[in-house]
Chains A and B, each alone.
Chain A
Amino acid sequence: MPSSVMPTPRKGGGVRPPAAVSAFDLRKSYGDKTVLDGIDLRIPAGTVFALLGPNGAGKTTTVQILSTLVAADGGQAQVAGHDIGTAPDRVRAAIGVTGQFAALDDLLTAEENLLLMADLLRLGKREGRARTGELLERFGIADVARKRAATFSGGMRRRLDLAMTLVGDPQVIFLDEPTTGLDPRSRRTMWDMVRELVAGGTTVFLTTQYLEEADQLADRIAVLDGGRLVAEGTADELKARIPGSHVRLRFTDPAEYERAAGAFPGAARDDGELALRVAGDGGLDALRALLDRLDAAGIRAADFSVHTPDLDDVFLALTGQGTPGPGAPLHLKENR
């Protein structure tokens, strides 16, 4: 398996946009446990970057280092143009962080939480109030503004948390697993909010263990496994690294299965399941040709499915889990 990072060549060859986040050889260990083993990153301003990895891969540690919560053992990083080691306060002034667990003050109301942020950002009374009102509206929590955060559902807590992050209008936002534990509807709402942010020019650094989330939101994705980046690119580039799509044909009658195997000599056999995997590019023409061939041979398949590689395959292949069979349940490695 290739373990090197494969940056994609940039089209056009023009001037590279300024990096909102850049890191070189970031390292961190806790005791003798290496959590980050030399991470290089370059995230252009105004884009969404997803750091994808199983639990324990080092995603949260990366965010903690870049957001100045934790000091790195080695390497350098700049966020919004400021060095995290020598100018942490300037970094802090330019970023917003939403962690895995909502950082709310449960004893305060939603409005008070936002006003607390405004106070800490020294916005001034009038501006703080205006900003708070605006964010309450935008995040759909205006009707519960006077309710204590402790009474909020998971989705509402994340929304309020994100709203609090945005009070200071940060240039770079770190979202550490922003939708972990949310129901599908809340997840989609969260995604829409992230998209809105990016439309406004904010750079988003996202960590997630959901491949779909990275696929949906990110301009570029890096896969982190065991403290190293094992791949980087757009979702399509990563998908292209997994060999082609295929059609799976399943039979109930062993004789039918054998005849089909004869008709498709190149297909991979699964004798236990009486299933064939026929490689193809997933296009309509290839599919039509395959069906014609089945028809011509007078073979009836009991079950038929087209399988296109998705990020799950990429992820599992890259993080050392091997390529799963079609329909194999997604299983994220709990490593280290």
Chain B
Amino acid sequence: MSTFAHAVHDSRTMLRRNLKHAIRYPSVGLGAAMMPILMLLLFVYAFGGSIGAGMGGRDAYIGYLTPGIIVMGVAAGSMSTSIAVCNDMTEGIINCFRTMNITRSSFLTGHVIGSVIQTMLCCVPVVGVALAIGFRSGASPLRWLAAAGLLAAVAFAVTWLSVALGLISKTVESASNKPLLIQFLPFLGSAFVPAGSMSPGLRWFAENQPFTPVIETLRGLLCGTAIGDNGWISLAWCAGIALIGYLWSRSLFNSSTKH
């Protein structure tokens, strides 16, 4: 087998292991799906009447909110990778992997691919609930596919960042705290209310942070609003974050061998 074939084989083995974990311990995955669903219900039924008043009512607000909730769910789901990575790093099993003749990066690749698959699956019930409570999209299958691709790109990028955060965490507890910052970001974007309605300082932040263009792109794909440059900006953010997360993770993982 060539080096590349080895890498693929080892990554698949690691991926199988991570998916097995996910199936056996579904609580993390279910949590990743439950959180956005609860937020969706909360914002539609508790706050939707008043927030949606300026947008044409509660039903119109469901249309505005759903893409934001989906993106938030993807971000939150991806961030749970850091717990899984940190857990492995603090257990003896990592030393076992390291003293075997396997492709080093396969450990990280397995986590990332596993997490992206899991996160994408978690989107399904979120979309299902949104549809059940009145979300209507006139999008063509092609647009739905583009939306899925965008979300996968977001999941991929955030997961790599999450892996790095898991690697710098000494304990699982601290690994579970760090991602909160990123999970919180969609709130400070256009997920729940238009950025234009925010105070000037926050508005500047909301308009320039990575989640806003992603949410706007998804909104455009599913609800037919204008996308403009947001599509490209989103992909650029995803590529940048993925690259930083990957390089950071790789350097952390390689250096942790030496001490």
The prevalent SS among residues of A at the interface is loop
The prevalent SS among residues of B at the interface is helix
B1-43: CB near A (< 8 Å → 1, else 0) gives 1000010011001001100110011000000000000000000
Report if A114 contacts B (CB, 8 A). Answer: no
CB pair A107–B21 under 8 Å, yes or no, is yes
Pick the residue among B9, B93, B94 that contacts A122 (CB under 8 A): B9
A92 to B102 Cα, complex, angstroms: 9
Known: A119-B13, A120-B102, A122-B1. A108 touches B20 (CB 8 A): yes
Shortest Cβ gap from B60 to chain A (Å): 45
- Give the chain A neighbours of B16 by CB distance below 8 A: 119
A219 to B196 Cα, complex, angstroms: 78
Interface residues of B (CB under 8 A from A): 1, 6, 9-10, 13, 16-17, 20-21, 24-25, 91-102, 257-259
CB pair B92–A116 under 8 Å, yes or no, is no
- Give the chain B neighbours of A121 by CB distance below 8 A: 100
What are the 9 tightest A-B residue pairs by CB atom distance, in nearest-first order? A103-B92, A103-B96, A93-B101, A92-B101, A119-B13, A97-B99, A101-B92, A67-B99, A103-B93
Identify which of residues 99-117 in chain A touch chain B, using a CB-to-CB cut-off of 8 Å. Answer: 99, 101-108, 112, 116-117
Pick the residue among A69, A105, A119 that contacts B257 (CB under 8 A): A69
Shortest Cβ gap from A176 to chain B (Å): 10
- In the complex, the number of residue pairs spanning A and B with C-beta atoms less than 8 Å apart equals 66
- Give the chain A neighbours of B98 by CB distance below 8 A: 68-69
What residue in chain B is nearest A90 (Cβ atoms)? B101
Shortest Cβ gap from B255 to chain A (Å): 11
Known: A30-B259, A122-B1. A102 touches B95 (CB 8 A): no
A117 to B21 Cα, complex, angstroms: 16
CB pair B1–A99 under 8 Å, yes or no, is no
Report if A89 contacts B (CB, 8 A). Answer: yes
CB pair A105–B93 under 8 Å, yes or no, is yes
CB pair A97–B20 under 8 Å, yes or no, is no
6 A-B residue pairs with Cβ-Cβ distance under 8 Å, sorted by A, are A68-B99, A71-B257, A92-B99, A106-B91, A116-B13, A120-B100
What residue in chain A is nearest B23 (Cβ atoms)? A107
A122 to B9 Cα, complex, angstroms: 8
Interface residues of A (CB under 8 A from B): 30, 67-71, 89-90, 92-93, 95-97, 99, 101-108, 112, 116-117, 119-122, 164, 168
- Give the chain B neighbours of A122 by CB distance below 8 A: 1, 6, 9
Shortest Cβ gap from B23 to chain A (Å): 10
CB pair A103–B20 under 8 Å, yes or no, is no
A47 to B259 Cα, complex, angstroms: 30
Pick the residue among A69, A70, A107 that contacts B20 (CB under 8 A): A107
- Give the chain A neighbours of B91 by CB distance below 8 A: 103, 105-106
CB pair A99–B92 under 8 Å, yes or no, is yes
Shortest Cβ gap from A170 to chain B (Å): 10
Shortest Cβ gap from B141 to chain A (Å): 37
A102 to B99 Cα, complex, angstroms: 14
What residue in chain B is nearest A113 (Cβ atoms)? B93
- Give the chain A neighbours of B93 by CB distance below 8 A: 103-105
- Give the chain B neighbours of A102 by CB distance below 8 A: 92
A233 to B237 Cα, complex, angstroms: 63
